[in-house]
Amino acid sequence: MEQTRLDIVLRTCGNSGVLDNTAQRISGTDRPLLIKKCVKSLVEAINNANGLIEMKLYVLDDHSTEEFVAELKSIIGTCLIDYEFISLVDKPDNFKHSYQYSSYEQFRYGRDISTSLVYFVEDDYLHATDAISAMINFYLEMRNFTDLNSIAVYPYDSTHNYASPNVEPCRLMTHGNRFWRTTRKSGNTMFIHSNDVRRYWQLFEAMATLYEFGGNVHEDATLNRMWNNGVIYGGPITLFSPIPSVGIHVSFAEPVQINTELNDWRQRYNEINL
């Protein structure tokens, strides 16, 4: 019987992100500070889940400066679980952008290294202090409780779910201190079983190798084809997002806010001292 464990595969890049660097992110801070705060929030969430199941953190860094790497390592050094910092090599020629290669490597770690659960996470997600434990507990209970084939979690209750015409029917349930809704949209960040990464590798590979900001190949054409929302989309994996979010994508759209710890995400952001 499988030993349930979690590999967290974080990719970082202090220089530039996948998303448009000219647009102002909602944090209002520069990218290095944003990443450091988000990484620290992740480490805090990991530490709060320490002991729940066996975990390991892999950090795949994409050519950040030495100074930034040192700062990242300082944050990651506070992690209470086993961790490994990997500086990625230059992208091979068959990758157009470096972020495509780092994305590929992140997914490949899930495919080749992980034997159980894997959390792919990008460096611009701000986590609630209970984010990791909430996802682990939800995943394990749902897998034991239901006859669903596979499930996955996208930690962000995305604004996309609520923008017309994207308001689609879903299933809504309660677990722990949150509601959990089905959805059919994720980013690269997801909590999933590595068996599903291997099973649907073509979609991961396509997302990693073909995605370009503003291009034609995006989540809907790749990763989102895996998802099932239990109502009108019948992909092989039922995808859930917590309400409220356990991780907020600190991008360009103000996240959904309700009465929770992350209701005032800015306060949480500002409270993280580096």
Binding pattern for the stretch 197-236 against other proteins, x by CB under 8 A and - elsewhere: ---------------------------------xxx----
C-alpha to C-alpha distance for 61 and 102, rounded to whole angstroms? 8
Name residues whose C-beta falls within 8 Å of residue 260's C-beta, 6 or more positions apart in sequence: 128, 244
User: Nearest-CA neighbor of 119 among 105, 130, 107, 129?
Assistant: 107
Is 141 an interacting residue with respect to other proteins (CB under 8 A)? Answer: no
Residues 43-102 touching other proteins, rule: CB under 8 A, are none
Segment lying near other proteins (by CB under 8 A), choices 23-31, 38-46, 170-178, 212-220: 170-178
* 170 is a contact residue toward other proteins (CB under 8 A): yes
Total residues in contact with other proteins, by rule CB under 8 A = 21
Query: Which range touches other proteins (CB under 8 A), out of 9-17, 122-130, 204-212, 254-262?
Result: 254-262
Q: Which stretch binds other proteins (CB under 8 A): 36-44, 57-65, 159-167, 215-223?
A: 159-167
Residue 253 as a binder of other proteins (CB under 8 A): the answer is: no
Which tokens in the block code for residue 117? 């659960």
One of 24, 94, 259, 273 touching other proteins (CB under 8 A): 259
Q: Which of 70, 86, 148, 258 binds other proteins (CB under 8 A)?
A: 258
149 binds other proteins (CB under 8 A): no
Helix H or strand E encompassing 67: helix 66-76
φ, ψ for residue 14, nearest 5 deg: -80, -15
- The reply to whether 242 sits near other proteins by the rule CB under 8 A is no
Cα distances from 208 to residues 107, 115, 169, 202, 213, in angstroms, run 8, 21, 29, 10, 12
Instruction: Name the one range near other proteins by CB under 8 A: 61-69, 71-79, 89-97, 253-261.
Output: 253-261
Q: Report CA torsion sign: 10, 144, 128, 214.
A: positive
Q: Which of 25, 37, 181, 225 touches other proteins by CB under 8 A?
A: 181
Whole-Å CA distances, 256 to 19, 27, 161: 20, 14, 10
Considering the rule CB under 8 A, would residue 148 count as an interface residue with other proteins? no
Convert residues 1-40 into a mask of x (bound to other proteins by CB under 8 A) and - (unbound): ----------------------------------------
**List 5, 80, 142, 168, residue binding other proteins (CB under 8 A):** 168
Whose CA is closest to 58, among 33, 39, 44? 39
Q: Are 197 and 118 spatial neighbours (Cβ–Cβ below 8 Å)?
A: yes
Query: Closest distance between other proteins and the C-beta of residue 155, in Å?
Result: 16
Question: For the stretch 198-231, what's the b/e string if a residue is b when 16 or more beta carbons lie within 10 angstroms of its beta carbon?
Answer: eebeebbbebbbebeeeeeebbeebbbbbbbbbe
Residues that bind other proteins (CB under 8 A): 161-162, 164, 167-174, 177, 179, 181, 230-232, 243, 256, 258-259
